[in-house]
Chains A and B, each alone.
Chain A
Amino acid sequence: MSRLKQLSRFKLTLSVVAVGLLMFPFINDSRTAMIMLTKIFIFAVFAMSYDLLLGYTGIVSFGHAMYFGIGAYTVALCLKAFGPTIPVVLLAALITIVFTAIVSFLVGLLTLRLKAHFFAMLTLAVAALFLVVAEKWRSLTAGNDGFTFAIPELFRDRLTFYIVALVFMILVYLFLERFTQSPMGRVLQAIRENEARVESLGYRVMHYKITANVIAGIVAGLAGILYAMSLRFVNTSVFATELTLDALLITIIGGVGTLFGAIVGAAVIEYARHTLMDLASVHWIFGRWVILLGTVFILVVMFFPKGIVGSTKHWWEKRQMKKAKVTTSDKNFHQDVS
């Protein structure tokens, strides 16, 4: 009963935060803040899809940027070829879903039977192949220089785009939340905990892992679409390993295995990057953002392995447990006296 209450309180807080974010642009008309928040929403979606693999299934992928890049290039090429209209964006979304599903299915089929670190290396290699193709196929992708494109009239307004990104993030969060709580999601978590046992219970582990890979790939592709549209520009950096590392960092900072953690992590990382870049003129260390990034990686693993959301949850549950214990021992005491 109390767990239900607690859950609904959490959901209530979430709804308040969502409404607050929805109202934000009407209260504060800072353009930079709005653009930064849009970016946070997009990266939160990307990191949530990564968390489905890392946090819920226990798979470390180094090639997640591949799906993100596919989405980004699909929408960019479609808009460039067919003109900036809404149906073209929907078409691009459809193509992205189909294409990322096929690629993630094939990659999963080839690689998911390998041990964790071999899988990580292979995904890295496949993603590197995509990067090489994108670099070399200049007639299509314009290589590292990239190209700009026009986006539909409706999305040109930063405010509309902000709301689209926010709603998209909320939808993805709700969908993945549902998915991870479903029987299928439970099996994935069981695979993370003890793969051999799940297998011996008669589940076809590969089948579940591939499904998780496909869903994560599709969501990452959709995040790529929004990313390219927010920049109105695309180049081969969308395929770079650095992007996967970003998703990895966001996930572990926010808390592995908590979808909400991806959102918190994205906010923290983007905000930190934004402010630290501004501080570069104060001291050179802030310009060397990567040093801080790496240090954070190390410190989080050593002292903070559950991330922000995971640690908070842990602390909260412990507190609740203590409270519950105190009340029951009180009751016992009273009973003893009487």
Chain B
Amino acid sequence: MEMFINITINGLATGMLIFLLAAGLTLIFGLMDVLNFAHGALFLWGAYAGIWTYTTSGSFIFGIIAAIVACCILGYLLERFIVKPVYGNHIQQILITLGAMLVLSELVKVVWGPNIIHARAPEWLRGSWEIGGIFLIKYRVFIIIVGLIVFAGLLFLLNRTKLGLVVRAGVMDKEMVQALGINIRKVFLFVFILGAGMAGLGGMLFGPYSGVIYAEIGLEYGILAFIVVVIGGMGSVLGSMIAALLVGILGSYAAYFLPEIALAVNFLLMIFILVFKPSGIMGMKEALK
């Protein structure tokens, strides 16, 4: 019994981490309908910039801030120069952001070298609590809490603020919102930067969680984020949360019981869901033509 609880908690923590990564993409891909394949690169840059700042300055909080700031700047540059010219054209979006992804991941190797970099949790997040045979690793609990805060914040932003209203309206009818005197381009830019910042946060928290970071995590986790957004349903923050937790928990059970197929579990899950409910768990009917 304890074993199941431990596996489930581990899965929850992994799922929350995946949610942090996918939350930004839910905004960029799910709401604004931009196929941003460079999202994984933002995650990667967040991880490297954050961990580097953290290890040189010694402050974990500093690292988190650095990761978010770095990714916000990158997000601004990406939107301004790469994504803006290709709004509305999916094939061009795929190609151009794929190019950005390749360049950014390779630049990480140029700046920080091609080797893996080790990362440890700060002093106050090391170790674990033990409650009746159940191990609560402090860092994982920390990730679950951060994930819940981001989730609540996103829901609040989208459903309770004027900005959220504008974003949701802008997604439905861009011209109408523009006609009402709102600069939708600026709103989209802001949303893109927000998504990028969340990717940075996810990347930074990923470092101490896995213990090592390397340049290939960009593509690996970028694809995972897409899987989560697709499974959850386009533009649904709640759907992304459910999908991320599903992927995380399923992954940790598979790693324990069926390590052979652990790698394939996400893909099988996505194929299964898309075949039977193409719009995703919480999505509207829009995946089908």
**A: which residues have CB within 8 A of B?**
54, 58, 60, 110-111, 113-118, 120-122, 124-126, 128-129, 132-133, 135-136, 195-196, 241, 245, 248, 252, 284, 288, 290-291, 293-298, 300-302, 305
Contact B85 A293 (CB under 8 A): no
Does B242 make an interface contact (CB < 8 A)? no
Contact of A298 among B99, B227, B230 (CB under 8 A): B99
Question: Which residues of chain B come closer than 8 Å to A113, judged between CB atoms?
Answer: 278, 288-289
Contact A301 B226 (CB under 8 A): no
In the complex, A135→B260 CA distance in Å?
Answer: 10
Task: Give 21 A-B contacts (CB < 8 Å), ordered by A residue.
Answer: A54-B91, A60-B90, A110-B275, A114-B274, A117-B90, A120-B94, A121-B226, A121-B230, A122-B270, A125-B271, A128-B223, A132-B263, A248-B98, A288-B110, A290-B103, A291-B107, A293-B102, A294-B99, A294-B101, A297-B99, A298-B100
Does B35 make an interface contact (CB < 8 A)? yes
How many A-B residue contacts, CB cutoff 8 Å? 114
- Minimum CB–CB distance for B233 against chain A, Å: 11
Does B86 make an interface contact (CB < 8 A)? yes
Contact of B264 among A114, A129, A298 (CB under 8 A): A129
Question: Which residues of chain A come closer than 8 Å to B274, judged between CB atoms?
Answer: 111, 114, 118, 121-122
Contact B90 A116 (CB under 8 A): yes
Contact B267 A297 (CB under 8 A): no
Does B109 make an interface contact (CB < 8 A)? yes
Contact of B86 among A126, A135, A301 (CB under 8 A): A301
A206: nearest chain-B partner, CB-CB: B289
In the complex, A298→B85 CA distance in Å?
Answer: 11
Does B159 make an interface contact (CB < 8 A)? no
Question: Which residues of chain B come closer than 8 Å to A291, judged between CB atoms?
Answer: 102-103, 106-107, 110
Q: CB-defined interface of B236-279 with A at 8 Å, one 1/0 digit per residue?
A: 00000000000000000000000011011011101100110010
Contact A302 B288 (CB under 8 A): no
Count residues on chain B whose CB falls below 8 Å from chain A CBs.
43
The SS class assigned to the B binding surface is helix
Given contacts A121-B270, A133-B264, A296-B99, list 4 more A-B pairs with CB under 8 A.
A60-B90, A117-B94, A122-B274, A295-B103
B260: nearest chain-A partner, CB-CB: A136
In the complex, A121→B25 CA distance in Å?
Answer: 14
In the complex, A298→B93 CA distance in Å?
Answer: 10
In the complex, A60→B96 CA distance in Å?
Answer: 14
Question: Which residues of chain A come closer than 8 Å to B230, judged between CB atoms?
Answer: 118, 121
Contact B289 A302 (CB under 8 A): no
Question: Which residues of chain B come closer than 8 Å to A117, judged between CB atoms?
Answer: 35, 90, 94
- Minimum CB–CB distance for B95 against chain A, Å: 5
Does B287 make an interface contact (CB < 8 A)? yes
> Considering residues B85, B103, B104, B286, which has the most beta carbons from chain A within 10 angstroms of its beta carbon?
B103
A298: nearest chain-B partner, CB-CB: B99
Does B117 make an interface contact (CB < 8 A)? no
Contact of B95 among A58, A248, A295 (CB under 8 A): A248
Contact B289 A298 (CB under 8 A): no
Contact A301 B99 (CB under 8 A): yes
Contact B103 A114 (CB under 8 A): no
Contact B270 A301 (CB under 8 A): no
Does B92 make an interface contact (CB < 8 A)? yes
> Considering residues A115, A121, A133, which has the most beta carbons from chain B within 10 angstroms of its beta carbon?
A121
- Minimum CB–CB distance for B84 against chain A, Å: 11
Contact B278 A301 (CB under 8 A): no
Contact B278 A118 (CB under 8 A): yes
Q: A122-B270, A122-B271, A297-B99 are in contact. Are A302 and B85 (CB under 8 A)?
A: yes
Question: Which residues of chain A come closer than 8 Å to B103, judged between CB atoms?
Answer: 290-291, 294-295, 298
B275: nearest chain-A partner, CB-CB: A110
> Considering residues A120, A124, A297, which has the most beta carbons from chain B within 10 angstroms of its beta carbon?
A297
Contact A252 B106 (CB under 8 A): no
Question: Which residues of chain A come closer than 8 Å to B104, judged between CB atoms?
Answer: 294
Does B82 make an interface contact (CB < 8 A)? yes
Question: Which residues of chain B come closer than 8 Å to A294, judged between CB atoms?
Answer: 98-104, 106
In the complex, A111→B95 CA distance in Å?
Answer: 21
In the complex, A70→B96 CA distance in Å?
Answer: 29
Question: Which residues of chain B come closer than 8 Å to A118, judged between CB atoms?
Answer: 230, 274, 278, 287
Contact of A125 among B100, B109, B270 (CB under 8 A): B270
Contact B227 A297 (CB under 8 A): no
Contact A114 B288 (CB under 8 A): yes
B229: nearest chain-A partner, CB-CB: A121
- Minimum CB–CB distance for B28 against chain A, Å: 12
